[in-house]
Structure 1
Amino acid sequence: MKTETPGPGRNVAIIRKQRGMSQVQLARAAGVSVSLLSKIEIGDWALSPGVAAALARGMGVTLDEVLGQAVPQRGEDEQLKELRAVMRRFDLPGDPPSDPQVIKRELATIFRLRGDANLRGLLTALPQAITCTTNYAHAAGTPSAWSMVADVYSAVYYLAARHRWMELAELAVVRQQLAAERADPLTAVVAVRDEAGAFLNSGDFAGGLAVINRAIVRLEGAEDGPNKAWGLGQLHMRGLTLAGRLRESAEVARHAREAVRWSENFAEDVEMHGMHFGPENAANHLVATFVDLEQHRKALDVMRDISRQPLKLPPTRRGHLHLNVARAKLALKDREGALESLTDAWEVTPQMARVHPTSQEVLRVLITLHRRSNPKLVKLASQAGVTV
């Protein structure tokens, strides 16, 4: 089977050689073992986000260079130009829609596309949604109107982060914050979550955690209620991910404890601003963090607990869950189980699975490790556009 399949781990070898570094030099600079680096480069071990960030720093490149930015597909270049054009006109409003219901329909469409991880549909719909909501907010001037603008820009951040288009992601966060300043406190919480996400995607985990912890202190002083519980839950979930990438055990334990505690305010996950928080999504983040910490059996235990009943999470969250479970199973040498979970991710969110670095890495390693033909793997590789 072909072994030099695309993926972040393969990028490490390419960039390292371009920088004129030996494996020993890069391993020393990144604080990892030469053995681990060698396994990552040849495809015997999946590159994790934390190690990817360390290797990026060691080579003096950005994290998205290591993970690889998704290449726009046919027709998407023009759509991206249109998206950037309407984002530039944030302070140059046009005529608002005559029917305010148009705004609500636009926003409902954005939330649906985001929840389904329909990335192509989202890219198509966002320019019109930005134009409508921004023009309306300038005319109405109400917090609720500006909240809708912030929600649309949160979707732009989501789209850009999935593709690792980091310049676009950071611009979206800036626009989101400007809108959130004129909206309600919960909208500001979502903006902080996405701001910390930009730190996360750039590999600056400590900076992102500082942003989250500062926001948590502010929100803890607010009156108790569903909005406070939901907002603190979102912040602690993001803090959990960042602390896990930093491998700060005390911070991991604190954010995990608080995320679970606030989730207990809800019988099931609640959607606000196009995002979910509750028992399922809190557990979903625990799975991801346990995998980051290489506590793979704990991750699978949590997965079994929440899978006793059909998951109600939207496809985008279920897709992430399957990808993290695939990482855990692969690390535990359960290749068939990893392939099954990776296949589940592709079935639930094919567009996201195509561009997600975890999906690419798990597939790359499975292809490298399989020394005989595997029909399921061949089929999945074909979907991903990889020849085996």
Structure 2
Amino acid sequence: MGTTTDPAPGANVALLRTTRGWSQARLAREAHVSHSLLSKVEVGDRPLTPAVAAALGRALGLSMAEVQGQASVAADDEPLLSELRSAMRDYDLPQGQAVPEGRIRADLETADRRRDAVDVAALLRMLPALLRDATTYAHTQNTAESWSALADTYSTVYWLAARHRWMDLAELAVTRQRWAIEQQPNPIGEAFADRDRAGTYLNFGDVERGLDVVDRAIVTVQSTPLSTTDRDLAVGILNLRGMTLAGRLTDKRQGLREAERHIRSAWNAAGAFSHDVDAHGLTFGPQNCFTHVLATRVDLGRTRDALALTDDLDAAVAGLPPTRVAPTKINYARAQLAVGDRDGALESLGAAFDAAPQMARIHPMGREVLRVLVSLHRRSNPQLLRLARLSGVSP
């Protein structure tokens, strides 16, 4: 999956700007960011943060994801992506042959393992057929469980699309996910669907509306008769999304207030679990709550607070799937870079590539941290050259 020719997000900003015929001064003025910051982002002396990407997107009339740049697929994978889009169009057209329940359950478990391992290439290979099978199974059985299986499949499609910043596909996936889960009463499934819907607002840079989706979903969960465990799980997952959104607010004072509200609620929910649990392809518990708090602190510009959360990051994320380990290592590297610890940032970034190379190669912040390290290093470094080669960032 992916190629080594996609520009890093900061470099993509320069391409978008020059294509428009805009000067740096004009884009900085329209986006309400400093000219100096924009210049450093474009040349690779500062990483393009999500907040700045969103501001530039608003000025250019683009989503945050479009500013960061879509990750392309290898030519051999293009037919698979077309097959996946076709299967999504046929959401109400089940196949003629019945699908055994056991096969759906087994294939969903396989998809979850590949998602956790961030094996996006293998995941794309299996998703078109799985989506058609899950569609047929849901229409045939018409039970809460069968529609939930279809919704989970769409959630996995959303995850894959969001990682690559294919936002048209991501938006369609969450729309289909919500449609599937509403076919039979399923409050937990609806909460997870709302979590993914809020994710599309996150990727578009429209964090205020994303927070509205999260808060409304939390109110609905809390007013729905559920077991304590199910309620804690649903509220916790929604609060993880809420704190991430809050960290991206332009007004960092407001962001801190909103983030702390969601952080407190998430920790409270996580306290009901002795260890992280998996549900609907997602992970929730004390460890995953920690990873989100760390990321939110970094987004809020409180990098030293983020670094102070643990003195042993490996132990803090031990046992979590690579889909959580890699972005946490990237966020830690971003914090280390912000405080001037280039060697530490390079080590953390290398650990992210080791944990999930397919994710690290397309992760916008991973590519940006690497681009800045390449720009700032004045001597040859084998680790830096290795990562640059893997990601396609020019050394």
What TM-score, normalized to structure 2? 0.94
Is the Cα contact below 8 Å between 2:229 and 2:272 reproduced in 1? Answer: yes
Q: Give unmatched runs, 5+ long, in structure 2.
A: none
Following TM superposition, the consecutive aligned residue runs of length 4 or more in structure 1 with deviations greater than 6 angstroms are none
User: Once the 2 structures are TM-superposed, how far is the Cα of residue 356 of structure 1 from its aligned partner?
Assistant: 1.0
> For 1:263, which of 257, 264, 270 is the aligned residue?
270
Cα shift at 1:329: 0.7
Aligned residue among 245, 248, 251 for 1:245: 248
Measure the CA separation in 1 of the matches of 2:149 and 2:60.
40
Letter in 2 for 1:200: L
CA change 1:221–1:201 in 2 (3 A) is: same
Q: Which residue of 2 is the match for residue 33 of structure 1?
A: 34
Q: Deviations over 1:297-346 (max 9, x none)?
A: 11112243664456121110111101101111111111111111111111
Could you tell me how far apart the structure 2 residues matched to 1:294 and 1:21 are? 29
Give distance in 2, aligned partners of 1:237 and 1:200. Answer: 12
Q: Deviations over 1:42-77 (max 9, x none)?
A: 111111011110011122223222101011113111
1:171-209 deviation digits (Å, cap 9, x = unpaired): 111110111102411111110000000111111111111
Equivalent residue for 2:331? 324
Q: Deviation at 1:79?
A: 0.3
Residue aligning to 2:132: 131
> How far is the alpha carbon of 1:14 from its aligned partner?
2.0
Q: Write the distance in 1 (CA, Å) between the matches of 2:311 and 2:145.
A: 40
* Residues in 1 aligned to 2:121 and 2:310: alpha-carbon distance in whole angstroms: 29
Decide whether the 8 Å contact of 2:41 with 2:48 is kept in 1: yes
Distance 1:131 1:73, change over 3 A: same
State the distance in 1 between where 2:6 and 2:97 align.
49
Distance 1:70 1:92 in 2: 30
RMSD over equivalenced CA pairs, Å: 1.6
Cα deviation code 1:205-237 (max 9, x no counterpart): 111111111111111113451111000000001
User: Using a 3 Å threshold, how does the CA distance of structure 1 residues 255 and 309 change in structure 2: closer, same or farther?
Assistant: closer
Match runs of 1:363-382 below 5 Å = 363-382=370-389
2:85: which partner in 1? Answer: 84
Matched, 1:197 2:199: yes
- For 1:101 and 1:73, the matched residues in 2 are separated by 32
Change (3 A) 1:195 1:5: closer
Q: Which runs of 5+ in 1 are unaligned?
A: none
With over 3 angstroms needed to count, the CA separation of the structure-2 counterparts of 1:254 and 1:309, relative to structure 1, is: closer
Q: 1:180-259 counterparts in 2 under 5 A?
A: 180-183=181-184, 184-222=186-224, 223-246=226-249, 247=252, 248-259=255-266
Equivalent position to 1:277, from 284, 289, 309: 284
Q: Once the 2 structures are TM-superposed, how far is the Cα of residue 13 of structure 1 from its aligned partner?
A: 1.8
Pick 1 or 2: higher relative contact order, CA cutoff 8 A, min separation 6.
Answer: 1
Contact preservation (8 Å) 2:297, 2:305: yes
Q: Secondary structure at the match of 1:267?
A: coil
Q: Scaled by the length of structure 1, what TM-score is found?
A: 0.96
Residues 98 and 60 (structure 1), Cα distance of their counterparts in 2 relative to 1, 3 Å cut = closer
Report the 3-state secondary structure (helix = DSSP H, G, I; strand = E; otherwise coil) of the residue aligned with 1:75. Answer: helix
Q: C-alpha distance in 1, partners of 2:156/2:146?
A: 16
Q: Residues of 2 paired with 1:224 and 1:90: CA distance?
A: 32
The 2-side partners of 1:299 and 1:95 are apart by 53
Q: Look up the SS of the partner of 1:80 in the other structure.
A: helix
Percent of residue pairs identical: 48
Whole-Å separation in 1 of the counterparts to 2:137 and 2:16: 46
Return the letter of the residue paired with 1:84. R
Match of 1:168 in 2: 169
Distance 1:350 1:319 in 2: 8
* Count of residues paired in the alignment: 385
